[in-house]
C-alpha cells in the first residue's frame, strides 16, 4: 500500500472561484416559489389536501392531474378525492388510505379510479403527511401515476397463463377421454359385426351408442384444438359441405330467436383446410353474431369464388390469387368504430368484464393466416356486421368420406402392436384378430424395438405415439425405419403436440378413436399398396 498522502486538489488557472454557499442558496421565499413551480409543471400528477378543513378537500392540483382525470381546476379544488371513485373501485384499497390518513402515516396503494368521461384508469397513489416545524399536521401531499398499461399487461399475462393451464388440463382430459371412446367405438363395431341383421332392436341400440360416441369424439377433437394439442392436418374439402354438415351444431348454439340463412354458391371452388379448426372459427363468429342481436334476427352464411389482385386486394395483406370466400353477416348493432382495427387483437374484447376472454377472434385470425388466407371485419350499411374469411383455392378432387376396401380382413399377417393402455391394447388385439390378423402386443416402444431386432416375422408395426418411458412411438418408428426400411409402420394417437406432429408426418397415422373400417383401410393400403383399395 502507498502510505503517501494525496495532495489536495488545486483550482485550475482557467477555473473561476466557486461562490460562497450562501450566495448560491435562494432565500426561503424563493425556494418555495421554485418548488411550487416544479410541482406545477412536472408531468407527474400531484395534489395537496388540507386536513384542517372539513372533509380534507383538495386545495391544489397540477396540470398533469387535470390531464390524467379529465377534470379542470375548478372541478377539482374544494372536493375530496373520492369523486374519482366508482363502482369498480376496490373499497379495501380506499379503507387503507383512510386508515393511513387517520394515523397520519404515509401510504402507497394502487387503486382503480374514474375519469370525467367515465373511463377507468389504474392509479399508483402515494400519500404523505406534511408537518410543520412545531410538529403540527399541515397538509397531505399526494403524487400519482397512471399505471393502466402495466395493469393491462399483467392482466393479459395472467389471462394467458390461465388459458395455458386450462389448455393443459383440457388436453390431458381429452387424451384420456379419447382412449375411453376408442374402447367404446371399437366394441360397438365388433358388436355390430356379430349381430344378426334382422335383430333390429339390438342394431338400433348399437347405432345409438355409436352415434353418441362419435359426438363425444368430435367434442374431444375441439377440446384438443382449443388446447393446441390437435395436429393441424389439412385436407381438400368443399366449404359448402362443411357448412351443411355443421348446421345442426350451429342451430343448437344459437338462441331460439335467431335464424340462420344459407346462401351457398353451387360451383364453389375447393380449398385445403383443417375442418375442425374451420368449424371452430365459424362457431366463434356465429356466437358473437348471436350475442350482437339482442332482439333476434337472421345470420346469413354465404360462400363464393373471388379473385384478389395486386392493384385491388380483397383484404389487407392478402396476396393476389383465387380464393374461396366464406362470409357471416348479422343484423346486430355492428362493430364500434374504435374497435374495428383491434377486434382481432389477442385479449381485446368489447364484452363486459368476465363475459369473454378476448381470444376467440384472435384464434380465428391465426387460423386463417396459418391456412394462407385472412379474415376481415366490417360494418354493413343499415346495421349489422360482416366477417369475411378468405381461403386459397386448391386444385384436386375432394376425397370421399367413405373408402371402399377391396378385402374385408387380413390374411393372417403378423402385426406387432405397441400400446401402453391395457384396455385399448385388449380392444386393438380383438379387432385385429377379428379381421384376420395375427397380433403380438407389447406395452413399450423399447420392448417393441428389442423384439424387432430378434425377429423379422412381422408384416407391420402398429404403435401408439404417446407412451411412458424413454422412447415414444415416433422415435420407435424412426429407429425401425432405419433398421427395417421395408417394414410398413402405422401410428395412432388421441393426443399430440407441435414437435411430435412434425416428426410424425413421415408416417401413416390413424387417429383415436378410430373405427374398424378406418383401421382396416389404413392396413390394406400399407400391406398391399394403393391397389388394396378400389
> Tell me, what's the pLDDT at 320?
85
What is the pTM (predicted TM-score) of this model? 0.45
369 and 243 housed in the same domain: yes
Longest dimension (CA), the chain: 119
- Residue 42 shares a structural domain with residue 78: yes
Q: What integer best gives the mean pLDDT of the chain?
A: 79
State how many domains the chain has.
4
Give the model's pLDDT for residue 6.
46
Q: Are 361 and 430 members of one domain? A: no
Cβ neighbors of 69 (< 8 A, separation 6 or more) are 45, 76, 84, 113, 115, 116
Could you tell me the sign of the dihedral formed by the alpha carbons of 221, 226, 227, 232, in that order?
Answer: positive
229: left (phi over 0), alpha (psi -120 to 50) or beta: alpha
- Buried b / exposed e over 127-153, threshold 16 CB at 10 Å, is bebeeeeeeeeebbbbbbbbeeeebee
Do 266 and 159 share a structural domain? no
Say whether both 378 and 285 belong to one domain: yes
C-beta of residue 440 within 8 angstroms of C-beta of residue 396: no
Residues in Cβ contact with 393 at an 8 Å cutoff, skipping those fewer than 6 apart: 269, 270, 271, 305, 321, 322, 323, 324
Say what the pLDDT of residue 405 is. 42
Determine which helix (DSSP H) or strand (DSSP E) holds 100, and give its type and residue range: helix 91-102
In the sheet that 414-418 helps form, which strands lie side by side, from edge to edge? 438-442, 414-418, 460-464, 489-493, 508-511
b/e burial code for range 212-223 (CB count within 10 A of at least 16 → b): ebbebbeebbbb
Q: In terms of domains, do 141 and 159 share one?
A: no
Cβ atoms of residues 515 and 189 within 8 Å? yes
pLDDT of 267 reads 92
CA-angle at 89, arms to 86 and 92, nearest 5°? 135
Please give the pLDDT value at position 517. Answer: 83
| Among 204, 226, 248, residue at a domain's last position | 226
Same domain, residue pair 317 and 381? yes
232 lies in some domain: no
* Nearest CA-CA partner of 254 in 219, 298, 315, 218: 298
CATH of the domain at 138: 3.30.450.20
Report yes or no on 12 lying in a domain.
no
Kindly state whether residues 173 and 199 are assigned to the same domain.
yes
Show Cβ contacts of residue 234 under 8 Å, excluding neighbours closer than 6 positions: 272, 273, 274, 371
Helix (H) or strand (E) holding 329: strand 321-329
In a domain? residue 467: yes
403 within 8 A of 321, measured Cβ to Cβ:
no
Model confidence pLDDT, tens digit, residues 219-247: 666 555 555 455 555 678 899 999 998 88
Instruction: Specify the pLDDT at position 455.
Output: 85
Q: What is the pLDDT of residue 197?
A: 80
Cα 235 from Cα 156, distance rounded (Å): 34
Of the three residues 200, 226, 252, the one that is the final residue of a domain is 226
- Give the CATH number of the domain where residue 271 resides: 3.30.565.10
State the pLDDT at residue 11.
Answer: 44
In a domain, 405, yes or no: no
Kind of pairing between the strands at 460-464 and 414-418: parallel
The verdict on 451 and 479 lying in the same domain is: yes
Q: What is the CATH number of the domain that holds 437?
A: 3.40.50.2300
Residue 486 lies inside a defined structural domain of this protein: yes
Does 8 fall in a domain?
no
Calculate Rg over the CA atoms of the chain.
Answer: 35
276 shares a domain with 298? yes
Q: Which positions of the chain have pLDDT values less than 50?
A: 1-13, 15, 18-22, 24-25, 228, 347, 353-359, 400-406, 499, 530-534
111 neighbors 124 (Cβ within 8 angstroms): no
Same domain, 441 and 489: yes
Residue range 294-318, pLDDT digits in tens:
778 899 999 999 998 877 778 877 8
Q: What local confidence, expressed as pLDDT, does residue 172 receive?
A: 65
**Domain assignment present for 370:** yes
Kindly give, in sequence order, each residue whose CB lies less than 8 Å from that of residue 419, ignoring residues fewer than 6 positions away.
425, 428, 441, 443, 463, 464
Specify the DSSP class assigned to residue 26.
P
Query: Considering 146, 168, 201, which residue would you say is the last residue of a domain?
Result: 146
The residue range of the domain holding 248 is 239-392
Tell me: do 206 and 263 sit in the same domain.
no
In this prediction, what percent of the chain has a pLDDT beyond 90?
28
The answer to the question of residue 387 being in a domain is yes
Amino acid at each position: 500500500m502507498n502510505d503517501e498522502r494525496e495532495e489536495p486538489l488545486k483550482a485550475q488557472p482557467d477555473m473561476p472561484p466557486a461562490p460562497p454557499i450562501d450566495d448560491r442558496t435562494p432565500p426561503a421565499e424563493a425556494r418555495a416559489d421554485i418548488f411550487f413551480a416544479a410541482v406545477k409543471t412536472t408531468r407527474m400528477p400531484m395534489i395537496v389536501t388540507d386536513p384542517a378543513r372539513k372533509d380534507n378537500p383538495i386545495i391544489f392540483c397540477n396540470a398533469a392531474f387535470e390531464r390524467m382525470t379529465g377534470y379542470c381546476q375548478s372541478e377539482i379544488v374544494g372536493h375530496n378525492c373520492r369523486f374519482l371513485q366508482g363502482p369498480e373501485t376496490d373499497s379495501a384499497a380506499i379503507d387503507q388510505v383512510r386508515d393511513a390518513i387517520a394515523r397520519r402515516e404515509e401510504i402507497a396503494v394502487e387503486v382503480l379510479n374514474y375519469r370525467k368521461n367515465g373511463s377507468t384508469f389504474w392509479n399508483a397513489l402515494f400519500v404523505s403527511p406534511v408537518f410543520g416545524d412545531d410538529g403540527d399536521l399541515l397538509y397531505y401531499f399526494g403524487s400519482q401515476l397512471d399505471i393502466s398499461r402495466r395493469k393491462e399487461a399483467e392482466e393479459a399475462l395472467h389471462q394467458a397463463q390461465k388459458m395455458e393451464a386450462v389448455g393443459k388440463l383440457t388436453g390431458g382430459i381429452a387424451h384420456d377421454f379419447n382412449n375411453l371412446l376408442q374402447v367404446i367405438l371399437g366394441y360397438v363395431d365388433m358388436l355390430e359385426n356379430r349381430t344378426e341383421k334382422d335383430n333390429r332392436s339390438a342394431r338400433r341400440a348399437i347405432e345409438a351408442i355409436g352415434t353418441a360416441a362419435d359426438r363425444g369424439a368430435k367434442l374431444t377433437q375441439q377440446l384438443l384444438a382449443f388446447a393446441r394439442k390437435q395436429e393441424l392436418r389439412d385436407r381438400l374439402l368443399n366449404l359448402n359441405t362443411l357448412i351443411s354438415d355443421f348446421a345442426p351444431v350451429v342451430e343448437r348454439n344459437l338462441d331460439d330467436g335467431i335464424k340462420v340463412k344459407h346462401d351457398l354458391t353451387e360451383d364453389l371452388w375447393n380449398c385445403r383446410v383443417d375442418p375442425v379448426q374451420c368449424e371452430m372459427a365459424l362457431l366463434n363468429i356465429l356466437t358473437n353474431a348471436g350475442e350482437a342481436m339482442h332482439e333476434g334476427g337472421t345470420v346469413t352464411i354465404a360462400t363464393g369464388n373471388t379473385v384478389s389482385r395486386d392493384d385491388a386486394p380483397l383484404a389487407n395483406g392478402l396476396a393476389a390469387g383465387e380464393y374461396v370466400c366464406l362470409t357471416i353477416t348479422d343484423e346486430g348493432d355492428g362493430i364500434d368504430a374504435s374497435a374495428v382495427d383491434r377486434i382481432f387483437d389477442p385479449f381485446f374484447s368489447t364484452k363486459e368484464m368476465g363475459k369473454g376472454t378476448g381470444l376467440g377472434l384472435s384464434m380465428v385470425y391465426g387460423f386463417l393466416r396459418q391456412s394462407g388466407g385472412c379474415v376481415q371485419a366490417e360494418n354493413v350499411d343499415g346495421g349489422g356486421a360482416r366477417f369475411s374469411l378468405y381461403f386459397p383455392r386448391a386444385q384436386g378432387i375432394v376425397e370421399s368420406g367413405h373408402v371402399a376396401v377391396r378385402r374385408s380382413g387380413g390374411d393372417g399377417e403378423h402385426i406387432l402392436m405397441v400400446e401402453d393402455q391395457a384396455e385399448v391394447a385388449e380392444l386393438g388385439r380383438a379387432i385385429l384378430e377379428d379381421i384376420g390378423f395375427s397380433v403380438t402386443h407389447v406395452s413399450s416402444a423399447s420392448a417393441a424395438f428389442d423384439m424387432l431386432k430378434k425377429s423379422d416375422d412381422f408384416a407391420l408395426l402398429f404403435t401408439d405415439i404417446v407412451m411412458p418411458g424413454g422412447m415414444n412411438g415416433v422415435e420407435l418408428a424412426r429407429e425401425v425405419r432405419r433398421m427395417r426400411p421395408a417394414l410398413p409402420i402405422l401410428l395412432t394417437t388421441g393426443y399430440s403436440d407441435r414437435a411430435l406432429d412434425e416428426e410424425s408426418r413421415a408416417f401413416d397415422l390413424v387417429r383415436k378413436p378410430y373405427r374398424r373400417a378406418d383401421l382396416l383401410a389404413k392396413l390394406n393400403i400399407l400391406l398391399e399398396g394403393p391397389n388394396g383399395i378400389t
